[in-house]
Structure 1
């Protein structure tokens, strides 16, 4: 009876040891070369088996090896039972270096790999001479050779010059278009229509009406007839219009009355009614519309 009991205990202990042996984690590491040439690639591998789904904690990617080791690739492969990390690296300085023991935490337990020594050597010798396969040969280049080498630079330069000229032409053409009599006429008519929509006349806001109305008229004369109407005093402007003869006498007289009335309104010396404001508006609008005729007559007059 005593003998059978001992055999039973031995069997149980053996089973437990066997189970622990085959169920515990196994940590392994491997270095493919202990001696490397400068810049030669080496491989360091860490593997763990029998994980049983436990988490593995280790240094982050590209941060496992010491400073002198230039990590080229750091790849990790995992399953519920197996973990493998492979790092390819190179060292670019001669000497002896150590890959220290790496701490690996599996579940709640900590394991350590073994350290490795690596020697990095320079395989080139001081007396080694590097010679060309053949001596250098002088070659005379022709025009076509230079053209093949530099044609894209030349074409790019020509394209840039052409673009600059095109931009200058477009800017000048756009300015010319903007300053043409018809464009100026159309822009001023739009400003007059916008003024009319404000209903200053209907609401008897004569001062607001004449302030904006006179500004529009002065700016139009300055642009269309090249008379500095937007900076001159009223009396000076009237005298200059008469001297230039660019504007017809009928329009000069009508504009003179409107400018003088605008000054009186501005200084509260007169209070025009709706009919007067509407009449002044229509006179200027018609003057703007027919301004090209004045310019044509002035051109003919100067030509003669």
Structure 2
């Protein structure tokens, strides 16, 4: 990219590569129009009090075939237009007499000048005379009117926000999730009958099982096989838990042999008769279950009582548990409780993580995973995009623009040799080293005295202005600029030049660069050059959307627009 340097000298001063001489020589061109002037402007008073309204009246006489365009907006600055009245039209022969009135005011005292206003009649542009007005202070007689302190600031209640709805919804979801986790996992559930029986000591469980056997109808229905099956299971289960841990799967002979060995080894203090009684009942039960033997019901009852008695005998024969065994049992119970608690924690964590993943996937499929991630983790550009935007006017003539943050005034240095010839205002947010930067500048050049160029005023070349703006970016450390240009039209039909493309933007306090994009908008009117510069990181979808939104919000009143529309019509 080849760019020209700024040049300043006394004989032929220039701004943005454009000479001052010849830029503002309208007088020669506009003189014939003023000689045939059909426009007059008057005010109803040249002296008003602060805040008092004056009426500015423009009167136009023209052919009925011409279309007349009156000024609109705040073109009367430093006076403020507070009302624009309807046009009063009367017809005299083949001409129209149009009267347009404006209500103007000023809230500062002093002498002010209402600037010349442009009136478009057909294809010609007419200018009114500038008018002087004096705004006087209101004299207050303090002897009759008391003075009061300034009233304190009154806090204004903000418009209601909807954040509480999202907070309420979040609390409801969390409350529901917590309740479900408590109810199904952490709640101490009431024990079922089977669970209560399982917690009983082996002896009590065996006694209870015998009582339940008595309540069955096996004997009344002569179902001796089922009766003996449960009866032998009761004694085998008790022996399995307290004497021999393989009593359930052992045969009758194996179990009896084991009991005798334990007795001979003095590990259990049970008599031979007790062992013999158990053997007799077990073998009778085997005959009933496998040989289809049918003993008398009374004998079955007697066997039941014998088993009841032998359970008592075995309990008394068992040695008392030592303190070490009791301690081991206590530790086992504690380990079981810790295990249950750990399992509950694992299940709860798995459910919460699963719900979080499901929520992330659900919102990701709907809104995009990048958007959900940035919402959770946070993204500076996203916060700017979704924050409260500010729409304001900057510079004079004003440019209306919407930005995520208020643009703050800068005071760029201007060389002394041209300071008297320039009026520059700059408002900015961020810089080229940050994720997003916005700069708005207005350059107003005072008309220069000297010979006029042939052909009248020299038009400002926005392409040269764009070249100088590119050079300014390079001076700020931006490199590898890819430049594209196209015509740009604002929503209110003001035309300008759009320069945009990709570039390498510097990383602050390093010699590194990151891929970025930039947009430059340039406008011109008479002795004013206006520029909007935006830079942002490439690939940042939020910053790109911010830039597009800013560009689409730009509005400014260009005086040439009305004339061009008239020519097209």
TM-score, normalised by the number of residues in structure 1: 0.37
Higher relative contact order by CA 8 Å / sep ≥ 6: 1 or 2? 2
TM-score, normalised by the number of residues in structure 2: 0.22
Q: Which has the higher helix share?
A: 1
Q: Which has the higher strand share?
A: 2
